[in-house]
Amino acid sequence: MLTGVVFDIKEFAVHDGPGLRVTVFLKGCPLRCSWCHNPEGQSPEPQVLRGSAGERLAGVSFTSQELADRLNSLAALLRVGEGGVTFSGGEPLAQADFVAEVIDQLDHPHVLLDTSGYADVGSFRKVAAKSQLVYFDLKLIDSVAHQIHTGVDNQPILRNLRVLNELGVPFVIRVPLIPEVTDTEANLSAIVRTVAGMPGLQRIDLLPYNKAAGAKYAACGMVFQPTFDESEKLNINLSCFKSAGLKVRVV
Ligand code: SF4
C-alpha cells in the first residue's frame, strides 16, 4: 500500500468544484510559478511553518487506505447534489500512484482532479481517467515565457491537454491572470486558439492575481520574488473568449 504526503484537507469546500466537496491538498509541485500563493505545497517533504501565530506542520503522511477511510467517512454528505472529492496541491500528479490508489478505494464516485497538467503522460492518464472532471491550468502558451515565469517547459502540459481531450473527460481550463504576463491579448488569444473546438471543454475560469500571494513565504523560510510588477493594472478581458463562443467566468 502506498503512502502520500498531504498538507491540508479542507472539508465542506464550496469553491473547489460542483456541490459540497472535500479538497485534499497534496504536497510537492515541480513548478515554481512566481505568483504561487501556496508555497508550502511546493516541497514534497513535510515542513514546519513559523509565523506570528506560532508553528504549524505542513505535510502529514497517510497510507492510501487511511486517506480513503477519512474521505469515505464523509461520503453520505458529499453524495448530496453533485459533491465529491477534489485532489489539488501543490501538484497532485506528483503523487499520481498514491492518488490513483486512494481513488480506487473511494465509495463516492465524483472525483475532480485540479492540476497544472505538468506530469509524465502515464501519470496524467492514470489519474485523469479515474476522474469525472478535471480543472486544468493553462498559464502561458509561449514556451520561453512559461519557462521564465514557472520554471518549467510547457510542452508536457500542452501534450497532456491533448491527452485529456482524447480521454473524453470533461474539463475546465483555469487561467491565472497575472499582470503583463498571462493577461496579455497575445496570450489570451493563444489560449483561445489552443482550446477552441475541444469537445470536453466545459468553460474557462479566469483567476485574477491575489496580491496576498506573498504572505506565506516568510513562514516557509522562502523569499517571495515575483517575476512581474504587482502594481500593474490587471487586464480582465473576456471578449476574446466570448467572440470564440467559449463560456468564460471570472472566479
Ligand atoms: S502549479 Fe500551483 S502549486 Fe505549483 S508552483 Fe504553480 S501555483 Fe504553486
Q: What domains can you pick out in the chain, each with its CATH number?
A: 3-250 (3.20.20.70)
Ligand 1 geometric centre to CA of 91 (Å): 7
Q: How far apart are CA 23 and CA 102, in angstroms?
A: 13
State which ligand 1 atom lies nearest to the alpha carbon of 118: 1
- Ligand 1 contact via 181 beta carbon (within 6 Å): no
Q: What is the pLDDT of residue 82?
A: 82
Given this model, what pLDDT does residue 47 score? 94
Give the residue-averaged pLDDT of 180-201: 97
Grid coordinates standing for 101?
490508489
pLDDT per residue over 40-96, tens digit each?
A: 999 999 999 998 888 999 999 999 999 999 999 998 878 777 899 999 999 999 999
pLDDT over 80 at 1, yes or no: yes
> Which ligand 1 atom is nearest residue 137's CA?
1
**6 contacts 44 by C-beta, under 8 angstroms:** no
38 lines ligand 1 (CB under 6 A): yes
Query: Cell 498531504 belongs to which residue?
Result: 6
Contact residues for 139 (Cβ-Cβ < 8 A; gap 6+)? 33, 146, 149, 150, 154, 175, 176, 178, 182
Answer yes or no: is the C-beta of 154 below 6 A from any ligand 1 atom: no
Neighbouring C-alpha atoms within 13 Å toward the C-beta of 143: 7
Model confidence band, residue 212 (pLDDT cutoffs 50, 70, 90):
confident
**Ligand 1 centroid – CA 40 distance (Å):** 10
